[in-house]
Amino acid sequence: MSSVHFSAPVAMPRMLSPWQRILTTRTLFMCAAILLLFLSVVIPNSLQLPTAGMLAVCFLFSLHGFRVVPGLKTIFLFYACSVMVTLIYIAVGYLNDAPWIAAAQVVAIYIVSPLLWIFISAHLTLTLGTERLIHWFVWLAILCCISVAIYFVLYHIGGAAAVSFFTEAANVNSSDGYSAAVMHVYGSLIFLCGGFFSSPELIRNKLLRLIVLAALLICIITSGRSALILSVPIGLVLGLMLTPRTSEYRRRRSLLTQVIKYGLPMLLAGGLAVFALGELANIHLSVIFGNFADKLASGGGSARSGQAYALYQGILDSGGVGVGHGIGVSYIRSTDYPWRYELVWLATLLRVGIVGALVYASLFFWYIARVIKAAILRHLTPGMKFMFCGFIAAFVASNTNPYIEAFTFQWMYVLPVVGFFIDHAAMRKSAST
């Protein structure tokens, strides 16, 4: 008679539900994204290798459950066109004896890095949302201001060596009522100032709003950076124009109420910043704005004027067709990378010609046009307004600063655009159903 044997029950591995798996991946992505934004916004270019590593990690997390939602198709279409232009003019540059290192940098900056930021920006918009992301920017702005304060204190205590972590070319000039410093974080502050001075109401806590605006103004005044100073009027003017066109604007409120809500915090913050700098640091607005006016009148200083003349001459000599990536002109701004210039868009005209430059800028122009249309139709949310004003301030700054060619700063140009097209497409879809 055969015996029946019963095997001991085997312990089955605990299976996570799909929701648990998504939650786990979402949490990991959020933690990685916070660290990436801290490295890119607060201490940009200070830790380039860790920043590049976190960019890759966030990209891999963003691939989980990725889908091409409405709005992203537009982004990828423009991106594909820019990649074609880049590859063509890398080849043109190679034929014109451009160094191989230039081709490698162009591939990294013009093709790989923007693609990674597109995926990360899309995942942030879909999982976090624009409004909550702006709340992140509030605290990032505070950390930026703290980093500026630490930089000034350490520099005055130990000189350039004490702040070499922030930048290799550390320098602070504070004398005769004037102040200026060399810091990469000023690039991030251009975007943040453009956004927060256009939309101060997004900082819900009134005391925190006053502190943030005052701290930003102190950083602006002590920076000596014309592009950063210019971000304030850009934010104020665009905010004044777009706020009445946002979807949450209440037209029944009186003009006095609107002035008190939007203007009073900035006036108080400005007065606090001016008083603190004048009394404690002997820094005066008249000297700061006098120097700012001189820089604007001279086209950004002698260095940028020299670049502009040489680049204009190179564009004319090439007939506006483009000489290729990795090719420079007679004016040398960087001995290590002689094809790089601070006047990015003039340099772009030289490298890829008029048609290529238009292809590169076409997504930005399309974004601006769609935001204007959304404002006319009152489909513009306060979050969209913040991102747009920050983008415009950064885009204006890109004409005299190479922020758009640094992977640590490309979030300023990718995140607002990707977020807008995704949010706007979602709004249209919900309105039609």
pLDDT in tens, the chain (433 residues): 444 444 445 444 555 555 555 557 788 899 999 999 999 999 998 899 999 999 999 999 999 878 888 889 999 999 999 999 999 999 999 999 899 999 999 999 999 999 999 999 999 999 999 999 999 999 999 999 999 999 999 998 988 888 888 888 888 888 777 888 889 999 999 999 999 999 998 998 888 998 899 899 989 988 888 899 999 999 999 998 998 888 877 664 555 566 666 666 667 777 777 767 766 667 777 788 788 787 777 666 677 888 888 999 999 999 989 999 999 888 888 778 888 898 999 999 999 999 999 999 999 999 999 999 999 999 999 999 999 999 999 999 998 889 999 999 999 999 999 999 999 888 877 776 6
Q: Do both 87 and 204 map to the same domain?
A: no
Query: In a 3-state reduction of DSSP, which class is residue 26?
Result: helix
Residue 46's Cβ-side half-sphere holds a number of Cα atoms within 13 Å equal to 22
- Rounded Cα gap, residues 181 and 183, in angstroms: 6
Produce one character per residue of 208-221: b if its CB has 16 or more CB atoms within 10 Å, e if not.
ebbbbbbbbbbbbb
Residue 11 placed within a domain: no
Listed in order, strand segments (DSSP E) in 40-151 are none
Q: Do both 102 and 170 map to the same domain?
A: no
DSSP 246: B
What Rg value do the Cα atoms of the chain yield, rounded?
24
- Comparing CA positions, the residue from 55, 27, 49 lying closest to residue 415 is 55
DSSP 2: P
Residue 72 placed within a domain: no
Q: For the chain, first and last CA: distance in Å?
A: 71
Residue 19 placed within a domain: no
Q: Is the dihedral of CA 42, 46, 48, 49 positive or negative?
A: negative
Amino acid at 294: D
**Which residues are CB-neighbours of 245 under 8 A, at least 6 positions away?**
375, 376, 378, 380
Amino acid at 19: W
- Rounded Cα gap, residues 261 and 104, in angstroms: 50
- Rounded Cα gap, residues 50 and 32, in angstroms: 12
Q: Do both 222 and 262 map to the same domain?
A: yes
Structure tokens at 346: 């003039």
Last residue of some domain: 45, 65, 85? 65
CA distances from 23 to 34, 56, 134, 324 (A): 16, 20, 22, 46
Alpha helices in 298-343 (DSSP H): 302-317
Q: Do both 276 and 326 map to the same domain?
A: no
Contact 121, 414 (CB under 8 A): yes
Q: Do both 158 and 269 map to the same domain?
A: yes
Q: How many structural domains are present in the chain?
A: 3
Tell me, what's the pLDDT at 264?
A: 66
Tell me, what's the pLDDT at 279?
A: 62
Amino acid at 212: V
Alpha helices in 159-225 (DSSP H): 185-196, 206-223
Tell me, what's the pLDDT at 7?
A: 45
Q: What is the dihedral of CA 253, 256, 258, 259, to 10 degrees?
A: 180
Q: Do both 49 and 87 map to the same domain?
A: no
Domain containing residue 414: 77-127+311-433
Q: Do both 359 and 393 map to the same domain?
A: yes
Alpha helices in 128-205 (DSSP H): 130-158, 185-196
Residue 305 placed within a domain: no
CA distances from 416 to 142, 175, 215 (A): 20, 38, 24
Tell me, what's the pLDDT at 23?
A: 57
Residue 399 placed within a domain: yes
Last residue of some domain: 297, 326, 347? 297
Produce one character per residue of 78-110: b if its CB has 16 or more CB atoms within 10 Å, e if not.
bbeebbebbeebbebbbeeebeeebbebbbebb
Q: Do both 326 and 267 map to the same domain?
A: no
Q: Do both 404 and 343 map to the same domain?
A: yes
Residue 15 placed within a domain: no
Strand partners, 416: none
Q: Do both 164 and 271 map to the same domain?
A: yes
Q: Do both 108 and 46 map to the same domain?
A: no
Contact 186, 145 (CB under 8 A): no
- Comparing CA positions, the residue from 322, 319, 321, 293 lying closest to residue 229 is 293
Residue 162 placed within a domain: yes
> Within the chain, how many helices (H) and strands (E) appear?
16, 2
Last residue of some domain: 239, 273, 297? 297
324: left (phi over 0), alpha (psi -120 to 50) or beta: left
With 0-12 / 13-18 / 19 or more C-beta atoms within 10 angstroms meaning exposed / middle / buried, residue 180 is middle
Structure tokens at 94: 């190679």
Residue 18 placed within a domain: no
Q: Give how far the C-alpha of residue 408 lies from the chain's centroid of Cα atoms, to the nearest Å.
A: 9
Structure tokens at 248: 């949450």
Q: Do both 144 and 84 map to the same domain?
A: no
What is this structure's pTM?
Answer: 0.90
- Rounded Cα gap, residues 224 and 206, in angstroms: 28
